[in-house]
Amino acid sequence: MTTATLKPQPDPPVRRSFRQQMHLAREDAIVSAVNRLLAEKGFEAMTVDEVAAEVGIAKASLYKHFPSKEDLAAAAMVRVMNRARAFLDDLEGSTSADDPLGRLKAVARWTMEVQLAGEMPSLPSENSTLRAALTTNKDYVDGLMDVSDRLGAWITAAQANGSLNQQLPAIAVLYTLYARACDPVLGFLKGSGLYTDDQIIDMVLVTCFDGLKG
Amino acid sequence: MTTATLKPQPDPPVRRSFRQQMHLAREDAIVSAVNRLLAEKGFEAMTVDEVAAEVGIAKASLYKHFPSKEDLAAAAMVRVMNRARAFLDDLEGSTSADDPLGRLKAVARWTMEVQLAGEMPSLPSENSTLRAALTTNKDYVDGLMDVSDRLGAWITAAQANGSLNQQLPAIAVLYTLYARACDPVLGFLKGSGLYTDDQIIDMVLVTCFDGLKG
DNA sequence: GTCTATAAATGGATAGAC
DNA sequence: GTCTATCCATTTATAGAC
């Protein structure tokens, strides 16, 4: 139905698609490297030379794909955000809306797994140039709004059914969950070498939702 | 009693002491500027030029006081550590050893106050050159050990009297308290403009010790 | 010890050939 | 689009006069 009705073309669709696939695959490799480096050392300490070296291409080639270091990092942030949104989709399909607390715990667990896998970018400091780039990046802002809205709904639902502290403003809960995604405690405990990743996540999850007190 | 019994000296003690005071005051001003900048933008983003500009002296003069940027930052970290130790001293004098949980909460509150005052250095990323400098800095390591030992004693005491979760390893509690000192949630909530500093600290303290759950 | 001036190295970004 | 080579601004650190 597609090819049969098309006139001959100078650039056959299949070839163009192949090129696009190659292009996307290359960009995906770049974004993966950026993502890893952002998680490992943060935006300021990450250099474009390192990215190029890790991908195995020249630095000038990087700039054919992304116009600046900020755009490079923003692309990685957007991808993580979209991974999160996809996970929220899965959760909505596989779990009950009657257990909003369970969903929130599942999200927190997922973010910690991502961090222990070395794939959670450390958040840029207040006045980083990356911050400014992110606030003007529609994909990022839209993604963040979407995630916040969906988590916000679960938070208020969990507060309504009494499984979450009703005294806390929903925004405080939301920010706490975001912060736990980058919680350095995971790295500290990992560095101690005393616990498995699962043990670490379980401990941090308990302290997050049940607190330190006995 | 001092000057009367002393022979004439080429450099009178009073003058030398004055010079030393000036020297220490200048270094204190330098460390304060570094401390503020470390809190504001982190080690990587902080430049020595900025430090010199904020202190109001030439960059070359800075290097007469501290041999490198790492030593500059380490001095600020040591000072914060010593402020913490002094606060622990105060706590031991003004509170009861029968309430170790109260002491732990007081420490957590203090660290959050310091952070909201813009005086808590953000912790350097894993492989920062500052990390290496700190691990070989005896003053810093000794101070960190001291704080960890004293907090560790309170933690085990609080677990013994049932006010702190006994399932959690003491080291997990300790690391959690360290992490809360740099918790980005404080900055998030502050940036929202919805709450006073006291309200923010109360909320984060509650979530830290009582958890998010209802 | 403080300054001006500068060295030495790094890092973001681009030119231009292919 | 990829490469080599380079530009240019920034940054750490130092030289040398006072």
The pair of three-digit structure tokens given for residue A211, joined into one six-digit string: 């607190």
Question: Residue B183 phi/psi, 5° resolution?
Answer: -60, 120
Residue B112 lies in a domain: yes
The nearest alpha carbon in chain B to A205 belongs to B211
B13-65 pLDDT per residue, tens:
666 788 889 999 999 999 999 999 999 999 999 999 999 999 999 999 999 99
- Range of the structural domain that residue B123 is part of: 68-209
The nearest alpha carbon in chain B to A193 belongs to B171
In this prediction, residue B127 carries a pLDDT of 85
Give yes or no for a contact between A40 and A115, defined as CB atoms under 8 angstroms apart: no
In this prediction, residue B14 carries a pLDDT of 67
Q: Is the C-beta atom of A59 closer than 7 angstroms to strand C?
A: yes
Torsion from C-alpha of B125, B196, B208, B32, nearest 10 degrees: 40
CB atoms within 10 A of CB A169: 16
How far apart are alpha carbons A19 and A30 in whole angstroms? 17
Q: What is the domain count for chain A?
A: 1
Inter-chain contact B206–A165, Cβ cutoff 8 Å?
yes
CA distances A138 to A142, A152, B200, Å, are: 6, 20, 30
CB atoms within 10 A of CB A90: 12
DSSP string of chain B, one letter each residue: --STTSPP-SS-HHHHHHHHHHHHHHHHHHHHHHHHHHHHHHHHH--HHHHHHHHTS-HHHHHHH-SSHHHHHHHHHHHHHHHHHHHHHHHHHHS-TT-HHHHHHHHHHHHHHHHHTT-SPPPPPTT-HHHHHHHT-HHHHHHHHHHHHHHHHHHHHHHHTTSB-SSS-HHHHHHHHHHHHT-HHHHHHHHHT-S-HHHHHHHHHHHHHH-SB-
CATH number for the domain harbouring residue B198:
1.10.357
Per cent of chain B over pLDDT 70 is 94
Give yes or no for a contact between A202 and B207, defined as CB atoms under 8 angstroms apart: no
Residue A2 lies in a domain: no
Residue B205 lies in a domain: yes
How far apart are alpha carbons B180 and B200 in whole angstroms? 13
**Nearest-CA residue to the C1' of C3?**
B58
How far apart are alpha carbons B74 and B16 in whole angstroms? 27
Residue A59 lies in a domain: no
Mean pLDDT of chain A: 94
Mean pLDDT of chain B: 94
Residue B25 lies in a domain: no
The pair of three-digit structure tokens given for residue A69, joined into one six-digit string: 């270091």
| HEC string for B80-91 | HHHHHHHHHHHH
**Quick check: helix, strand or coil at residue A213?**
strand
Inter-chain contact B189–A212, Cβ cutoff 8 Å?
no
Give yes or no for a contact between B143 and B82, defined as CB atoms under 8 angstroms apart: yes
Residues paired with residue B213 on neighbouring β-strands, in sequence order: A164
How far apart are alpha carbons A120 and A87 in whole angstroms? 15
Which is higher by pLDDT, B43 or A1? Answer: B43
In this prediction, residue A6 carries a pLDDT of 66
How far apart are alpha carbons A64 and B53 in whole angstroms? 38
How far apart are alpha carbons A68 and A90 in whole angstroms? 33
Nucleotide in closest CA–C1' contact with A64: D1
B67-92 pLDDT per residue, tens:
999 999 999 999 999 999 999 999 99
Nucleotide in closest CA–C1' contact with B46: D11
H or E element in which residue A26 lies: helix A13-45
A56-79 pLDDT per residue, tens:
999 999 999 999 999 999 999 999
How far apart are alpha carbons B36 and B30 in whole angstroms? 10
The pair of three-digit structure tokens given for residue A55, joined into one six-digit string: 């991908």
Chain A residue numbers with beta carbons less than 8 Å from the beta carbon of B126 are 40-41, 187
- Asked if pLDDT for residue A10 goes beyond 80, the answer is no
Inter-chain contact B211–A207, Cβ cutoff 8 Å?
yes
Those residues whose C-beta lies under 8 Å from the C-beta of residue B25, and which sit 6 or more positions away, are: none
Residue B48 lies in a domain: no
Give yes or no for a contact between A168 and B164, defined as CB atoms under 8 angstroms apart: no
Residue B23 lies in a domain: no
A185-204 pLDDT per residue, tens:
999 999 999 999 999 999 99
Inter-chain contact B41–A127, Cβ cutoff 8 Å?
yes
In this prediction, residue B95 carries a pLDDT of 98
Question: Residue A97 phi/psi, 5° resolution?
Answer: -70, -10
Question: Residue A52 phi/psi, 5° resolution?
Answer: -60, -45
Output the CA angle A148-A149-A151, nearest 5 degrees.
Answer: 65
Q: Rounded mean pLDDT of A77-84?
A: 98
Which among A202, A10, A6, A5 is positioned nearest to A105, based on CA atoms? A202
- Asked if pLDDT for residue B172 goes beyond 90, the answer is yes
Give yes or no for a contact between B169 and A185, defined as CB atoms under 8 angstroms apart: no
Ramachandran class of A162: left when φ > 0, alpha when ψ lies in -120 to 50, beta otherwise? left
B115-142 pLDDT per residue, tens:
999 999 998 888 899 999 999 999 999 9
A162-180 pLDDT per residue, tens:
999 999 999 999 999 999 9
Residue B52 lies in a domain: no
In this prediction, residue B13 carries a pLDDT of 64
